[in-house]
Amino acid sequence: MAPGRLASPTNEASASQSAIESQHKEDLKPAADDIYGIYHPADPKNLKLESNFGPLDPDSVGYLQPTSFDTPLEIMHERFQRDGYLFVKGCISKEASLKCREAYFNYMAPSGLLQEGTQPIDGIFSHKDSKKYLPPGNLRRLFGLKDDEESEKYLELMISAHEAPFYLEFCANQELRDFISRFTGWKKPHMLQRTMLRAFVPNSELTPVHFDQMYLRAGPPTSLTAWVPIGDVSLEGGGLMYLENSTDIGQQTEAEFARNAANLTDEERVSAFNKNMSDGGFLSRDTVAYGKERRRKWLIAEYEAGDVIFHNPWMVHASCKNKDPNSKIRLATDLRFVDPEKPYDHVSFPFG
């Protein structure tokens, strides 16, 4: 549910199944005066959309519906309440996005990430072994990357980039904060320090299936996530995708977790990484199977520099592999905001 002046989220862990289903039906109602039309840029049959376990069925793919920046606030609220996300076109300046993108790839250049002779702002992949450019975690150990000089340099720079001046400046973007304040009614939105800056090279890792409240259990479900593409992301470029109308799935999952949490310590109870969750703390690594099991479509979009998509803490999301036809690296950051005048999760856990 939407934060701030919108309807306050209830304690979903104690909500009854019937109440959740009733809310889900309510969320599916069309928004009043829906002025957006239908965004359908391409037939999914003509796209390369692939998970770790094979291609997505075109019939299981739909499209996120964009919202213009100057849309009336009440319409934005209705869409967010109904859909669980708000895809705002031109939320921040294109220049701010591209400035950060150019600075990031200049910073990462010593790792051999970029194709020689190309401009850093374009972020064209070098076509080296994509496994060299995996983020920290089990997959790096599985592929034995510890003795690869370029891969080690990439890991070092990828982590330190979170403290680089260009990224800190981007995270402090005032346009983004002004929009969040207007949308939520929060006087001074507070950004949690657990940000995630990720560059997905073609044919490499993807974002597994999850929802954010899994990692924010030490506080109430009142956060607002902003997924910010840094530069353009094509339809096949591995941009964030959402499981259609999946707020209820996150709520049901948390309710089930609460019922099973009696055997956990206090530390385990607020962590997604425990014996009652999937490997790595995710819902699934197989987006294809998960979508089929839930009988809902995965919603995708083409993102442009300056766009921001917001979602509630229950909304299920993931990504496909980056199959960009021009070998562009997908760069984006996850930023999570709360109202500092109300309780929120102060515990630091990594995000998926």
In the chain, how many domains are there?
1
Which residue range forms the structural domain that includes residue 330? 12-338
In a domain, 259, yes or no: yes
Looking at residue 32, what is its pLDDT?
46
In a domain, 344, yes or no: no
Q: What is the CATH number of the domain that holds 314?
A: 2.60.120.620
Looking at residue 143, what is its pLDDT?
55
C-alpha distances out from residue 241 to 224, 234, 254, 277, 301, Å: 17, 12, 21, 22, 7
Which structure tokens are listed for 302? 């083409």
- Residue burial 327-343, b: 16+ Cβ < 10 Å; e: rest: bbbbbbbbbbbbbeeee
> How many residues are recorded in the chain?
352
Which structure tokens are listed for 349? 């856990």
In a domain, 285, yes or no: yes
In a domain, 176, yes or no: yes
Q: Which amino acid is at 60?
A: S
The CB density around residue 293, as the number of other CB atoms within 10 Å, is: 10
DSSP state of 278: -
Which 3 state secondary structure label does DSSP give 196?
strand
Which structure tokens are listed for 2? 């939407």
The CB density around residue 180, as the number of other CB atoms within 10 Å, is: 24
Cα–Cα dist 264/255, whole Å:
15
Torsion from C-alpha of 289, 294, 297, 301, nearest 10 degrees: -80
Contact yes or no for 310/177 (Cβ under 8 A): no
Q: Where are the alpha helices (DSSP H) in 56-203?
A: 73-83, 94-108, 138-142, 149-160, 165-171, 174-184
In a domain, 144, yes or no: yes
Looking at residue 277, what is its pLDDT?
56
Beta strands in the chain (DSSP E): 50-51, 54-55, 61-63, 66-68, 85-89, 190-191, 196-200, 224-229, 240-243, 298-300, 308-311, 317-319, 330-338
Looking at residue 279, what is its pLDDT?
53
In a domain, 347, yes or no: no
Looking at residue 144, what is its pLDDT?
61
∠ CA 255-257-260, nearest 5°, is: 115
Cα–Cα dist 203/222, whole Å:
35
Nearest to 340 by CA among 3, 1, 11, 2: 3
In a domain, 175, yes or no: yes
In a domain, 343, yes or no: no
Cα–Cα dist 12/255, whole Å:
6
Looking at residue 15, what is its pLDDT?
40
How would you write the pLDDT of the chain (352 residues) with one tens digit per residue? Answer: 444 444 434 443 334 334 433 443 443 344 444 445 689 999 999 999 999 899 999 999 999 999 999 999 999 999 999 999 999 999 999 999 999 999 999 999 999 999 999 999 999 999 999 988 987 765 655 656 667 888 889 999 999 999 999 999 999 999 999 999 999 999 999 999 889 999 999 998 889 999 998 878 777 889 999 999 999 999 999 999 999 999 999 999 988 887 877 777 767 766 655 555 555 668 998 999 999 999 999 999 999 999 999 999 999 999 999 999 999 999 999 999 999 999 777 764 443 3
